[in-house]
Structure 1
Amino acid sequence: MDVEIRHLRAFAAVARHRSFSRAAQELSITQPALSRTVAQLEATLGVRLLVRTSRRVEPTDAGTEFLQRAERVLASFDHALTVVRRLGVLRLGFSWLLPAPWAQRTIKDFESGTGASVTLTRTDDPLEALHRRTVDIAVVRGDVAGPEPLPTVRLFEEARFVVCSRESPLASRSHLDWDEVRHWRLIVNTVSGTTGPWSWPEASRPQDIVETANYDEWVETVAADRGVGVVPETARHRSPHPALRFVALTNAPPVPVSLVYLPDGPRALIRRFVDASLASVDS
């Protein structure tokens, strides 16, 4: 049997602690499993490395010599892992306004836990960016639809708000019902928007529609009082535009927020980012 890194870690932990129980706690394995691993190492080398008594565990002369060399090997191996992980980059695509504080917390935890870094890429169509492979994973609002199903992880939902110009008659309202929106001219971002005529049953859809091609065009069209828009709650907290007013929507379906990625992307980094994302949602 070949000597593996796990054998070196097991032996070094026992030799440092002079205890199988404390070493097992450090390595988060059971004491019997640790004992078997050390025994495998000794059998492979054909040398007794540790002397076990009822009270203590001591390295033999050979064990003391081997410990010094094993720790140098482990330090070099761990350094190599750290260097390589720091070279790892995960490209995160989004269309506009990443949800806060979820995004900041997730990125911080992911980078500190992996040593890799996250590159943020704003794109009008995150799903198209995935297929072009300019991003590895994307934050997508609304229903995820495309010519082929992609791995999707639903994170949470955001409430919807109506956005209007401060000059609009709607600006003085405290709230608006979802069913009332169809009576107003609706400004729609056709590329990355989360609300459009498709958001209502066909019989009760808004009929007066103004289409825009991106978030900036949408914002300025609403600010110019050409109609109203509907956005997730994140925009209410983070939009700095002085000409806009946000009005609460009642009975509106929430906007789902999901992570979407290609199945053949950097799997290890994607898995760790998804884990960090779900942990941030739960915290």
Structure 2
Amino acid sequence: MDLELRHLRAFTALADHGSYTRAAAASHLTQPALSRTIQQLEAALDVRLVDRSSRHTTLTPAGRDFLGHARRVLGDLDRAVREMRAHRTLRLGFSWLLPDPWAQHALARFERATDAEVTLVRVDDPAAALASATVDIAVFRGHTAPAGAIVHPLFDEERIAAVAASSFLADRESIDWSEFHRWPLVVNTVTGTTTPDSWPPGAAPHTVIPCANYDEWLETVAADRGVGVVPAPAARRVGHSGVRFIPLTGAPAVPVRLAHLTAGGDRRLLREFLHAATAAGSEDGVR
């Protein structure tokens, strides 16, 4: 009979607990099943490992010698498994600032549960990155999502206004959502979360200043070409001397979602990440 890992694990459990009853419980086996496994191991080795003449469970000299070998084999195997798992990577795409503290909590949960690693990939167009398999899963803000993708809602983020430090609006304590039709609106047309369609018909800004990414959006606002609207994390994490962030009243929230394609990638890692992401979102609430 070939030795199996279950034989070594059962034997080390018996040595650790010194009792068939306790070792069986720790191994999630019945006591008879554990006893049979130990007997199979002794038969395979053709040597007595456990002294059954005593009222207590003790190892024979051969058993004590074999215990050291068994521990080394299991330890080497566990280390090899951890090292191989560490090579597994899930690529998370995002177009700009990740929601906080959700991202930090989700990544930590996932990496503890899997021993895998999350690689953060900043992309201008998360939908294109998914389609080209540049990323395995991506964060999307707003109501758009790539065609054919599986979408998982997480939570909502508040919106906040951005104006130039030199703007006449810079000293305002707040701005109402209904006021924006008065001023040109700077819009990131690729991954922006606020467009004229975000307002009811007739209430949207009349003038749009388009740009293609977040950096262009930020510099255009700083140059006082128009006002902007972004999710609230920008106010906590973007430092630009030329931009002031001002609270908004009456603004709709921004949905935050994860999306991945139906094919490709490590499906088990995707499931584990979605579980960690959902749990972190429930803890952190609306951001």
Bin the TM-score by the shorter chain. 0.7 to 0.9
Map 1:61-140 → 2, pairs under 5 A: 63-64=63-64, 66-140=66-140
Map 1:1-283 → 2, pairs under 5 A: 4-20=4-20, 22-23=22-23, 27=26, 30=28, 33-35=29-31, 37-42=33-38, 44-45=40-41, 47=43, 56-59=56-59, 63-64=63-64, 66-150=66-150, 152-263=151-262, 264-281=264-281, 282=283
Could you say what secondary structure the match of 1:104 adopts? helix
Letter in 2 for 1:266: D
Could you say what secondary structure the match of 1:171 adopts? coil
The superposition leaves residues 170-215 of structure 1 with CA deviations (integer Å, 9 ceiling, x where unpaired) of: 2222112222223322111011111112222334333211111111
Could you say what secondary structure the match of 2:170 adopts? helix
Letter in 2 for 1:234: P
Shift of 1:90: 2.0
Could you say what secondary structure the match of 1:211 adopts? strand
CA distance in 1, matches of 2:52, 2:188: 72
The percentage of aligned residue pairs carrying the same residue is 49
Letter in 2 for 1:80: A
CA distance in 2, matches of 1:98, 1:248: 20
Please tell me whether the aligned partners of residues 85 and 115 of structure 2 are also in contact (alpha carbons under 8 angstroms). Answer: yes
The superposition leaves residues 40-81 of structure 1 with CA deviations (integer Å, 9 ceiling, x where unpaired) of: 524644747656799743345665455343323211211210
The superposition leaves residues 93-149 of structure 1 with CA deviations (integer Å, 9 ceiling, x where unpaired) of: 110111223223333443344333322211011121011011112122122422213
Letter in 2 for 1:156: F
Q: CA RMSD in A?
A: 2.9
Could you say what secondary structure the match of 1:146 adopts? coil
Shift of 1:22: 4.7
Please tell me whether the aligned partners of residues 42 and 49 of structure 2 are also in contact (alpha carbons under 8 angstroms). Answer: no
Letter in 2 for 1:174: E
CA distance in 1, matches of 2:32, 2:186: 68
Identify if the C-alpha distance between structure 1 residues 36 and 171 changes in structure 2 by more than 3 Å, giving closer, same or farther. farther
Letter in 2 for 1:117: E
Identify if the C-alpha distance between structure 1 residues 116 and 168 changes in structure 2 by more than 3 Å, giving closer, same or farther. same
The gaps in structure 2 that reach 5 residues or longer are: none
Please tell me whether the aligned partners of residues 7 and 41 of structure 2 are also in contact (alpha carbons under 8 angstroms). Answer: no
CA distance in 2, matches of 1:40, 1:190: 68
Letter in 1 for 2:205: P
Please tell me whether the aligned partners of residues 24 and 34 of structure 2 are also in contact (alpha carbons under 8 angstroms). Answer: no
Could you say what secondary structure the match of 1:77 adopts? helix
TM-score, normalisation: structure 2: 0.83
Aligned residue pairs: how many? 278
